[in-house]
Structure 1
Amino acid sequence: MDDSKVVGGKVKKPGKRGRKPAKIDLKAKLERSRQSARECRARKKLRYQYLEELVSSRERAICALREELEMYKQWCMAMDQGKIPSEIKALLTGEEQGKAQQNSVKLAKTGKTEANSSNP
């Protein structure tokens, strides 16, 4: 009397414990393996693209910072020689104009609030 059952292509015998050896279709197993390998390669390709973009953006940032550093070095050398670079003059006059504009805006706001508070 054989009490074995066939479930999902696997033969199960009663009374045995533990993992049963799988009798899986070999073609299906190979196809799953191929699909997994394709997905792995696609993930790897995306990861490398991301890293390459990250490196190139960092390299661009480094170049911009080096150019800025060189500009500051040139400004310092000019100032050591007693010359004030035109860029620094422009920055200073821009800051002065900005401060003047900020002060005029503050005065205008305080003038409006004083006028509003004096009228009951």
Structure 2
Amino acid sequence: MDDSKVGGGKVKKPGKRGRKPAKIDLKAKLERSRQSARECRARKKLRYQYLEELVSSRERAICALREELEMYKQWCMAMDQGKIPSEIKALLTGEEQNKSQQNSTRHSKPGKPEPNSNSW
């Protein structure tokens, strides 16, 4: 039996399979590799800068939230002692003023009667 024949009657060709390597200038290949490495390092540097900025902005947000939480804790402790913090008073009076302003503008507008009014 002949070794050059493989099942199915096909003839096996001696040598390597696939594309033959093109004769590329070695210097050009090295320069492309260097350029690719420079671009990769630049992308990596930009990515790290972006991540560092993201981390620092998140850290600032965390600090602000911690300060806010501490303020609320202090307000709660003061209210547990029967004291109403001035900030809460200001918030409450500000809301009451806003409500009274909204109600006064609602009543002073001519036109449609309010749905709650008993004018029939």
Question: TM-score, structure 2 length as denominator?
Answer: 0.76
| Residue in structure 1 matched with residue 32 of structure 2 by the alignment | 32
Q: Deviations over 1:86-109 (max 9, x none)?
A: 000000000001111111222233
Which segments of structure 1 move beyond 3 Å, counting only runs of 4 or more?
A: none
Q: Distance in 1 between matches of 2:40 and 2:20?
A: 29
How do residues 1-120 of structure 1 correspond to structure 2 at under 5 angstroms?
18-109=18-109, 111=110, 113-114=111-112
Question: TM-score, structure 1 length as denominator?
Answer: 0.76
Q: Deviations over 1:5-56 (max 9, x none)?
A: xxxxxxxxxxx97301121001110110011001000100000000000000
Q: Distance in 1 between matches of 2:43 and 2:90?
A: 51
* Structure 1: gaps (5+ residues): 1-15, 116-120
Aligned length: 98
> Higher helix fraction: Structure 1 or Structure 2?
1
Q: Distance in 2 between matches of 1:62 and 1:88?
A: 23
| Residue identity opposite 1:90 in structure 2 | A
Q: Distance in 2 between matches of 1:44 and 1:30?
A: 21
Q: Distance in 1 between matches of 2:29 and 2:108?
A: 79
**DSSP-derived class of the 2:82 partner:** coil
Q: Deviations over 1:45-71 (max 9, x none)?
A: 000000000000000000000000000
* Structure 2: gaps (5+ residues): 1-15, 114-120
Query: Of the two structures, which has the highest relative contact order with CA contacts closer than 8 Å and spacing of 6 or more?
Result: 1
Paired-residue identity, %: 90
